[in-house]
C-alpha cells in the first residue's frame, strides 16, 4: 500500500495548486500554511476569485447580528448560480460549510483551494455551494488563544457566536439569525449532500481525520445504504493516500482508548442529524486537532476531493434516492409505522482495529486527579470494541396532521424554516384530538444554549377543543414530515417542548387559599365518600405526599370545577383521521413555503 508522510502530503497539495491554471491566485493559507486569514481577507479573496472566473459566483445568504454578510461561494461548470436554474438543469447540489465553530478553520482553507481548483477541471452535473465562514462574528473574535487543545493555526476565531451561542446546537431550535438565514438557504437550494468541517477535541491517535455519518437508522433506508457504499469507496481511497480515517472518536470512558469507541444517533440540533430529518445524507469531517495545521488542511482537502469524485460518479443515483426519500416521508406508509424519535446507546459492539498511540494513566501531583499521557511518537494499534448498535429508545405514533393554535406562532415560524408547508383554518372548528398532559416538568437549573431545557413525563389525553380561525394545520403528507415530527412530538429530544417553547403551558396560574379548599374538602368527601379510599391509596403509594398538607389540598383542588383543565396540557392537537384532515375548512395556500408560517 502506497503511503505518504504528512510533509509529502502537504507538498503534493501545493504542487497540485501550482499546476492549476488558477494558481495565479494562491490562497492566503498557501502563502502562510501556519495561518488562516481573517474575515475581510477571506471575503476579499473569494470576491476576487469570482471576479476572475466565469464558473464562480460570490453572494451572501444573510447578515450576522454584528452586521457581517454571511458569505456563499458558488461553483458550477456552466456558471449556473441560482437554485432554479440548477434544479432545471438537473444538478446535484453539494453544500460544504466551514467555521461553524470559527476556531476550527481547516475547512475554510481547504475549501478555498478546492473552489479555485474546480475552475480548471471540475466535474459536470454538480453545483458546489461553499460557506467559508458560517460563524462570522465568532470568527472575528480572533486571537492565539481560541482553542487550548488545538495545534495551530497561529490565530483563530472563537467557537460560539457573538451572543455566545453554539451554531452546531441550533439547527432545530433556530434561535440565531445566522441559523435562520442558513435554513432559508437550505430551503432555497435543497442540497443533496452536506459536508460540515470541524476539528476535534478529545484524545490523541494516528488519524488525521475522523468522520460522522448517520448509519444507525435515523436516515431514510435508501440513503443509509448509499452512505455505506460511499464509505466503502472513500475509506480505502483515503488509506491509499496515507490518510486512514475512522468513525468520530468518542471513548466510552473519557480519553481511554481501550474502553472502546462509542457511536450514537445525532439529534437534529447537530448538522448531520438535521440533514437526516430533511431526508439528506451528510458527512461530518473532524480534523484531528493535535496534527499540525497544514496537515489538517491537506487531509480535509483530500477527503473533499474523494467525496466530490464519488458524487460525480453517482450523482444520478443520489438525486433519485433523495427524491425517493422525500416521497416516502410524505407517504401514508411513513405515518402508519411507529417513528423512532429517540435512540439509546447499547453494549452491543464489534471489534475495531484502532490506530492509536502509546499512552499511560498518571496522577497529578497538583490536582490529585488521574489523567492520560499520550506518546504520539510511538504509534500503537489496539483492537477495541466499537459500540455501533444504538437501539430505539422511543418511537411515536404519528398523526395525519398537527394543529397549532395561533397563540403559538413562534413554533409555526420555526416549522416554516424547517421546510414545512402550513395551511390555516379559515373558520373555527370543534375537533376531538390526541394530546398529552405534562407530568412533573423539571427545568435544567443552568442555561444551555440560551435556554433552560425541560424534562417531563407524558400522560396521553383525548380532548375536544375549539380551534380558532388562523390555527396552523401541519399536514404530515409532505417531505418535511420527519423534521415536523421531531419538533411537535414532545417525546423527541429536540422537540419544541423540550427546548422551552411551551413553558407557559407547563404553568398553573390560579391557586386556592387553604381556608377555602379545606371547607370544600369536607363537602366533597360528604358528597362522594369514595374520595376517602382514593386519598388513602395515594397516601400509601407516596409517603412524601402523605406528609404534605399542600399536596393533599392540591389533590382535592384538581377535582373541583375551578381547577384549570388546560394547566400542564400540551396545546398542540394530533388529528389521526385522514378524512377529518381533508375536510378541514382551510384558507387558500400561501404563495411560498416560507409564507406559510406568516
Q: Give the confidence band of 597 by pLDDT, cuts at 50, 70, 90.
A: very low
Summarize pLDDT for 447-470 with one digit per residue, the tens: 999 999 999 999 999 999 999 999
Percent of the chain with pLDDT over 90: 91
Global pTM reads: 0.93
On the question of pLDDT at 553 being above 70, the answer is yes
State the CATH class of domain 6-331. Answer: alpha beta
SS percent in the chain: helix, strand, coil, step 5: 35, 25, 40
Per-residue pLDDT at 598: 45
Q: What is the mean pLDDT of the chain?
A: 94
Percent of the chain with pLDDT over 70: 95
What sign for the dihedral angle of Cα 134, 138, 144, 146? negative
Summarize pLDDT for 22-32 with one digit per residue, the tens: 456 999 999 99
What sign for the dihedral angle of Cα 339, 344, 347, 353? positive
Name residues whose C-beta falls within 8 Å of residue 527's C-beta, 6 or more positions apart in sequence: none
Query: Do residues 596 and 537 touch, judged by C-beta distance below 8 A?
Result: no
Instruction: Please state the φ and ψ torsions of residue 160, each to the nearest 5 degrees.
Output: -105, 170
Query: Mean pLDDT over residues 230-246, rounded?
Result: 97
Length of the chain: 598
Per-residue pLDDT at 564: 84
What sign for the dihedral angle of Cα 310, 314, 316, 321? negative
Per-residue pLDDT at 14: 54
The H or E element that residue 145 is part of is: none
Summarize pLDDT for 178-192 with one digit per residue, the tens: 999 999 999 999 999
Summarize pLDDT for 76-124 with one digit per residue, the tens: 999 999 999 999 999 999 999 999 999 999 999 999 999 999 999 999 9
On the question of pLDDT at 326 being above 90, the answer is yes
Q: Which of 214-218, 560-564, 573-577 has the highest mean pLDDT?
A: 573-577
On the question of pLDDT at 3 being above 70, the answer is no
Name residues whose C-beta falls within 8 Å of residue 137's C-beta, 6 or more positions apart in sequence: 64, 65, 66, 68, 161, 162, 178
Distance CA 350, CA 367 (A): 36
For residue 330, give the C-alpha cell: 410524505
On the question of pLDDT at 15 being above 60, the answer is no
DSSP states of 475-507: ES-STTHHHHHHHH-TTSTT-TTTTTTTGGGG-
Summarize pLDDT for 327-371 with one digit per residue, the tens: 999 999 999 999 999 999 999 999 999 999 999 999 999 999 999
Looking up cell 486537532, which residue turns up?
Answer: 289
On the question of pLDDT at 446 being above 80, the answer is yes
DSSP states of 163-208: TS--GGG-TTT--SHHHHHHHHHHHHH--SEEEEEEE--S---S-S
Alpha helices in 330-446 (DSSP H): 332-336, 409-417
Per-residue pLDDT at 235: 98
Summarize pLDDT for 241-265 with one digit per residue, the tens: 999 999 999 999 888 888 999 999 9
Q: Which of 82, 343, 46 is nearest to 219 (CA)?
A: 343
Own/partner contacts of 110-114, CB < 8 Å, gap of 24 or more, are 110/197, 110/297, 110/298, 110/300, 110/301, 110/304, 111/197, 111/304, 112/27, 112/28, 112/29, 112/42, 112/45, 112/46, 113/13, 113/17, 113/27, 113/29, 113/30, 113/301, 114/301, 114/304, 114/305, 114/308
CATH 3.40.630.10 residue spans of the chain: 6-331
Per-residue pLDDT at 254: 82
What letter does residue 589 receive in the DSSP assignment? P
Per-residue pLDDT at 1: 30
The H or E element that residue 75 is part of is: strand 69-76
In DSSP terms, 385 is beta-bridged to 351
Per-residue pLDDT at 23: 53
Per-residue pLDDT at 24: 67
Amino acid at each position: 500500500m502506497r503511503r505518504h508522510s504528512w510533509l509529502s502530503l502537504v507538498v503534493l497539495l501545493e504542487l497540485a495548486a501550482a499546476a492549476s491554471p488558477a494558481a495565479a491566485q494562491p490562497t492566503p493559507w498557501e502563502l502562510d500554511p501556519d495561518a488562516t486569514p481573517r474575515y475581510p481577507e477571506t471575503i476579499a479573496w473569494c470576491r476576487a476569485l469570482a471576479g476572475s472566473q466565469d464558473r464562480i459566483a460570490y453572494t451572501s445568504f444573510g447578515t450576522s447580528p454584528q452586521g457581517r454578510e454571511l458569505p456563499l461561494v458558488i461553483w458550477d461548470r456552466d456558471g449556473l448560480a441560482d437554485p432554479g436554474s440548477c434544479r432545471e438543469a438537473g444538478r446535484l447540489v453539494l453544500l460544504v460549510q466551514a467555521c461553524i465553530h470559527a476556531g476550527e478553520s481547516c475547512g475554510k482553507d481547504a475549501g478555498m483551494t478546492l473552489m479555485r481548483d474546480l475552475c480548471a477541471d471540475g466535474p459536470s452535473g454538480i453545483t458546489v455551494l461553499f460557506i467559508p465562514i458560517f460563524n462570522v462574528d465568532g470568527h472575528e473574535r480572533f486571537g492565539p488563544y481560541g482553542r487550548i487543545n488545538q495545534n495551530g493555526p497561529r490565530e483563530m476565531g472563537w467557537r460560539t457566536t457573538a451572543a455566545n451561542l453554539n451554531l452546531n446546537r441550533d439547527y432545530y431550535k433556530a434561535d440565531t439569525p445566522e441559523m435562520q438565514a442558513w435554513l432559508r438557504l437550505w430551503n432555497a437550494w435543497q442540497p443533496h449532500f452536506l459536508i460540515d468541517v470541524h476539528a476535534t477535541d478529545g484524545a490523541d491517535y494516528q488519524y488525521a481525520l475522523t468522520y460522522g455519518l448517520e448509519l444507525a437508522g435515523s436516515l431514510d433506508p435508501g440513503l443509509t445504504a448509499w452512505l455505506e457504499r460511499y464509505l466503502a469507496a472513500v475509506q480505502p481511497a483515503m488509506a491509499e493516500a496515507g490518510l486512514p480515517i475512522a468513525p468520530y472518536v468518542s471513548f466510552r470512558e473519557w480519553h481511554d482508548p481501550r474502553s472502546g469507541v462509542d457511536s450514537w444517533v445525532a439529534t437534529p440540533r447537530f448538522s448531520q442529524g438535521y440533514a437526516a430529518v430533511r431526508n439528506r445524507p451528510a458527512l461530518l469531517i473532524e480534523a484531528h486537532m493535535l496534527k499540525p495545521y497544514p496537515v489538517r488542511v491537506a487531509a480535509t482537502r483530500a477527503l473533499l476531493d474523494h467525496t466530490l469524485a464519488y458524487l460525480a460518479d453517482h450523482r444520478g443515483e443520489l438525486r433519485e434516492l433523495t427524491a425517493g426519500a422525500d416521497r416516502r416521508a410524505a407517504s401514508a406508509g411513513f405515518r402508519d409505522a411507529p417513528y423512532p424519535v429517540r435512540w439509546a446507546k447499547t453494549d452491543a459492539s464489534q471489534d475495531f482495529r484502532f490506530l492509536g498511540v502509546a499512552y499511560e494513566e498518571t496522577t497529578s501531583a497538583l490536582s490529585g486527579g488521574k489523567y492520560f499521557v499520550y506518546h504520539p511518537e510511538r504509534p500503537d494499534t489496539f483492537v477495541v470494541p466499537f459500540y455501533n448498535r444504538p437501539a430505539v429508545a422511543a418511537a411515536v405514533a404519528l398523526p395525519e396532521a398537527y394543529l397549532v393554535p395561533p397563540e403559538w406562532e413562534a413554533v409555526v415560524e420555526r416549522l416554516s424554516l424547517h421546510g414545512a408547508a402550513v395551511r390555516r383554518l379559515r373558520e373555527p372548528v370543534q375537533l376531538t384530538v390526541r394530546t398529552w398532559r405534562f407530568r412533573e416538568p423539571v427545568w435544567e437549573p443552568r442555561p444551555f444554549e440560551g435556554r433552560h431545557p425541560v424534562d417531563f413525563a407524558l400522560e396521553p389525553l383525548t380532548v375536544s377543543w375549539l380551534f380558532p380561525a388562523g390555527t396552523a394545520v401541519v399536514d404530515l403528507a409532505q417531505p418535511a414530515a420527519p423534521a415536523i415530527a421531531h419538533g411537535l412530538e414532545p417525546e423527541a429530544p429536540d422537540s419544541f417542548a423540550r427546548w422551552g417553547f411551551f413553558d407557559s403551558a407547563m404553568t398553573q396560574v390560579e391557586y386556592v387559599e387553604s381556608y377555602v379548599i379545606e371547607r370544600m374538602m369536607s363537602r366533597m368527601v360528604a358528597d362522594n365518600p369514595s374520595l376517602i379510599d382514593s386519598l388513602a391509596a395515594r397516601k400509601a403509594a407516596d409517603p412524601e405526599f402523605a406528609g404534605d398538607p399542600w399536596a393533599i389540598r392540591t389533590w382535592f383542588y384538581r377535582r373541583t370545577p375551578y381547577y384549570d383543565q388546560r394547566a400542564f396540557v400540551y396545546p398542540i392537537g394530533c388529528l389521526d383521521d385522514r378524512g377529518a384532515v381533508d375536510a378541514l375548512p382551510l384558507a387558500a395556500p400561501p404563495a411560498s413555503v416560507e409564507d406559510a408560517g406568516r
